[in-house]
Amino acid sequence: MNEKQLIALSLEAMEKAYAPYSGYKVGAALLCADGTVYQGCNIENASYGATNCAERTAFFKAVSDGHREFTAIAICGGKDGTVTGLFPPCGICRQVMGEFCGPDFKVYMVGPEGTYQEQTLSQLLPWGFRAEEHMKDSHDKKIC
Ligand code: THU
């Protein structure tokens, strides 16, 4: 599974978005360490606050199926499903990524006409909050 294939699966997932309130359709394709891919879309709610982002849909599907190790995610989105620019993951989705993924986890943000931007989780979520045992590994090293 290369990044182009993962991006194609995120675009396919975007078609399933349930976004009657914002009109923004978002798709994600999450690559597990064993090669399995989980697709996710945003699922909006009349309360607005109960909306679930595409990325978290993909993560929660994967984790509830027993996966704990992840390599990369591709994300795309746009008004009415037309990708006109990058759709970077929101802060809550970055925090969920930080729960399960290491600093080198790759995030491919899809742009128009086959373009994409690659970032690592450590670039998108520097100094993220983690459970204490993980913080010892990542943050303590930075104290001098
Ligand atoms: N959305 C996502 O699916 N992922 C993000 O990371 C940011 C926002 C969705 C939520 C809502 O349905 C729509 O985009 C507009 O905010």
The pLDDT tens digits for 92-107 are: 999 999 999 999 999 9
Is the pLDDT at 53 greater than 80? The verdict is yes
Q: Considering the chain, what is the average pLDDT of its residues? A: 94
Instruction: Please give the distance of CA 75 from its chain centroid, rounded to a whole number.
Output: 6
Question: Could you tell me the distance, in angstroms and rounded to a whole number, from the CA of residue 40 to the centre of ligand 1?
Answer: 12
Per-residue pLDDT, 87? 97
Catalytic residues: 55
What's the count of helices (H) and strands (E) in the chain, helices before strands?
5, 5
Per-residue pLDDT, 141? 60
Query: What are the Cα distances from residue 137, in Å, to 93, 129, 134?
Result: 22, 12, 5
Split at pLDDT 50, 70, 90, the class of 134 is low
Split at pLDDT 50, 70, 90, the class of 40 is very high
Testing ligand 1's pocket by substitution, the residue of 10, 16, 26 carrying the most ligand atoms inside 8 A of its CB is: 26
Longest dimension (CA), the chain: 50
Per-residue pLDDT, 131? 84
The sign of the CA dihedral 49, 102, 10, 58 is: negative
Stretch 20-30: mean pLDDT: 98
| 55 compared with 142, residue with greater pLDDT | 55
Pocket of ligand 1 contains residue 73 by CB under 6 Å: no
Split at pLDDT 50, 70, 90, the class of 72 is very high
CB under 8 Å to 85, separation ≥6 — which residues?
Answer: 78, 111, 112
Distance between start and end Cα atoms, the chain: 40
DSSP E strands in the chain: the ranges are: 24-32, 37-41, 70-79, 106-110, 116-120
Single pTM value for the model: 0.94
Q: Which two tokens stand for residue 113?
A: 């006409």
Task: Count the residues in the chain.
Answer: 144
Per-residue pLDDT, 133? 61
Pocket of ligand 1 contains residue 55 by CB under 6 Å: yes
